[in-house]
Amino acid sequence: MKQDPFDIIANGRVLLPDGETAAVDLRIQQGLIVEIAPRLKGKKTLDAAGDYVLPGFVDLHCHGMGFCSLEKGSLAEWAALEAQQGATRFFPTLFGPPENLIELMQQHLRETDQLKATPQVGGFRLESPYLAQTGAGRGEDLAPILPELTDRLLIAGGGHIRIWDLSPELPGAVETIARLSGQGVVCSLAHTRATIEQARAAVDAGLRLVTHLFDTFAVPEMIDPGVYPAGLVDYLLVEDRVTCEIIADGTHVHPLLVEKALRCKGPKGVAFVTDSNYGAGLPPGDYRLPAGWGEARIRDRNNGVRLIARGLVLAGSALTPLNCFQNAVQLFGKSLAVASRLCSANPARLLGLNAGEVALGRNADLVMLDADLNLKTTIVAGRGVFGVYE
């Protein structure tokens, strides 16, 4: 049964855009925050009871959660799992052969009435096929950049492709980045061995995101002995026009490199992502995962999903959006304000969402966390989708 929206959220410790928390209430009308002040009165009040009230989490890069993905289960089922982990917006990410991407986008658009039935879904992300190397994928997942294929993918996405990954060194990449960026699609540098010059040309054309920085990036070779070489990662760390994703578990990217990225880019230049897949969000244990993954082991949220039959090789992230926020504070030592920027404000700004901060006129996409940063409630447009409202 669909819940009526709240018009007041009271007695919370609200994280405001200046980075301070304040004992104020929120008034919500038509899914928007319209008043922030103490002791507000309304018809339907949610008592935050001293919990933190923060912007909901925005996950730019996620392939699945639990036993659900675009290939298994529905978007509604996936959205429910994301709600349990504080995501008020997420971007289901596809990685596969072009024909499979087309079929899956068409299927889920039909099932959700063009995503209207799943308001947490911000749109699709295509990580393939325009990549120079697969990473964990397969050769058949990749394809040359062709205007006709781009047209077919755009048509299948029905205007709902919001992020598109490309390798800048591929023929036609710069022209395609300019075209997609001009249509409002965020282009992301991914799975690449591009030179600094090729990457800069992509950024000049409109590329604004970097896919899981440090992962699938090559360390530059020292050609002249004794001379430290500058590589692609070095350029991206000082290129102010791009936001860099980081998989925030401390395993995919060492904490020292996370700190390096944050010091180079500043808190506004990094977005924490899950890059989640099957197994994410499950408690520690051994599981038989779908889609041919086989037996996998999860030790904890930060150790990743590991395939037992392949010597516990790392097969993906076990993170959830809530874990990213918790890790920002508990693993990487950042304040609530910085953690919120990494997990909410920065991705929201990049995608042009009216979200990511608790401010007048913003969407009432919120989470409530207790003092230990455990999730109590997830709210989308003023409606409870998970937690204590039940």
Residue 390 binned pLDDT confidence (cut-offs 50, 70, 90): very low
CB 36 within 8 A of CB 326: no
Mean pLDDT of 178-183: 98
Say yes or no to pLDDT of 388 above 80.
no
**Same-domain pairing of 349 and 360:** no
**Same-domain pairing of 242 and 344:** yes
Note whether residue 201 is domain-resident: no
Which residue type is seen at 378?
T
**Same-domain pairing of 4 and 69:** no
| pLDDT at residue 137, rounded to an integer | 57
pLDDT digits (tens, 9 = 90+) for 132-176: 988 665 778 999 999 999 999 999 999 999 999 999 999 999 999
Bridge partners, residue 27, by sequence = 8, 35
Note whether residue 45 is domain-resident: yes
**Same-domain pairing of 242 and 361:** no
Say yes or no to pLDDT of 3 above 80.
no
CA distances from 52 to 12, 14, 48, 74, 253 (A): 6, 6, 8, 31, 28
Note whether residue 198 is domain-resident: no
- Tokens in use for 230? 């500058």
CB 65 within 8 A of CB 323: no
Mean pLDDT of 70-85: 96
Question: Across the chain, what does the average pLDDT equal?
Answer: 95
| pLDDT at residue 4, rounded to an integer | 72
Note whether residue 171 is domain-resident: no
Q: Please report which helix (H) or strand (E) contains residue 93, including its range.
A: strand 87-94
| pLDDT at residue 144, rounded to an integer | 97
Contacts of 185 (CB under 8 A, 6+ apart): 161, 162, 163, 164
pLDDT digits (tens, 9 = 90+) for 222-250: 889 889 899 999 999 999 999 999 999 99
Distance between CA atoms of 173 and 221, rounded to whole angstroms? 25
Q: What is the pTM of this model?
A: 0.96
Note whether residue 193 is domain-resident: no
Find the angle CA(204)-CA(206)-CA(209) to the nearest 5 degrees.
110
Mean pLDDT of 338-349: 98
| pLDDT at residue 109, rounded to an integer | 98
**Same-domain pairing of 319 and 341:** yes
**Same-domain pairing of 330 and 374:** no
CATH number, residue 340: 3.20.20.140
Note whether residue 204 is domain-resident: no
Parallel, antiparallel, or unpaired: how do β-strands 68-69 and 8-15 relate? unpaired
Phi, psi of 206 (to 5 degrees): 130, -5
Is the Cα dihedral 48, 385, 340, 353 positive or negative?
negative
Note whether residue 184 is domain-resident: no
Say yes or no to pLDDT of 39 above 70.
yes
Residue 37 binned pLDDT confidence (cut-offs 50, 70, 90): very high
**Same-domain pairing of 266 and 313:** yes
**Same-domain pairing of 101 and 51:** no
Number of domains in the chain: 2
Mean pLDDT of 70-94: 97
Bridge partners, residue 47, by sequence = 10
**Same-domain pairing of 9 and 64:** no
**Same-domain pairing of 225 and 350:** yes
CATH number, residue 381: 2.30.40.10
Residue entry with tokens 């500058």: 230
**What is the 3 state secondary structure string of the chain?**
CCCCCCCEEEEEEEECCCCCEEEEEEEEECCEEEEEECCCCCCCEEECCCCEEEECEEEEEECEECCEECCCCCHHHHHHHHHCCCEEEEEEEECCCHHHHHHHHHHHHHHCCCCCCCCCECCEEECCCCCCCCCCCCHHHCCCCCHHHHHHHHHHHCCCEEEEEECCCCCCHHHHHHHHHHCCCEEEECCCCCCHHHHHHHHHHCCCEECCCCCCCCCCCCCCCCCCCCCHHHHHHHCCCCEEEEECCCCCCCHHHHHHHHHHHCCCCEEEECCECCCCCCCCEEEEECCCCEEEEECCCCCCEEEHHHCCEEEEECCCHHHHHHHHHHCCCCCHHHHHHHHHHHHHHHHCCCCCCCCCCCECCEEEECCCCCEEEEEECCEEEEECCC
SS3 call for 372: coil
Say yes or no to pLDDT of 1 above 70.
no
Residue 389 binned pLDDT confidence (cut-offs 50, 70, 90): low
Question: 228 vs 199, which has greater pLDDT?
Answer: 199
**Same-domain pairing of 2 and 31:** yes
Structural domain boundaries, residue 360? 1-56+355-390
**Same-domain pairing of 17 and 146:** no
Distance between CA atoms of 225 and 342, rounded to whole angstroms? 38
Note whether residue 142 is domain-resident: yes
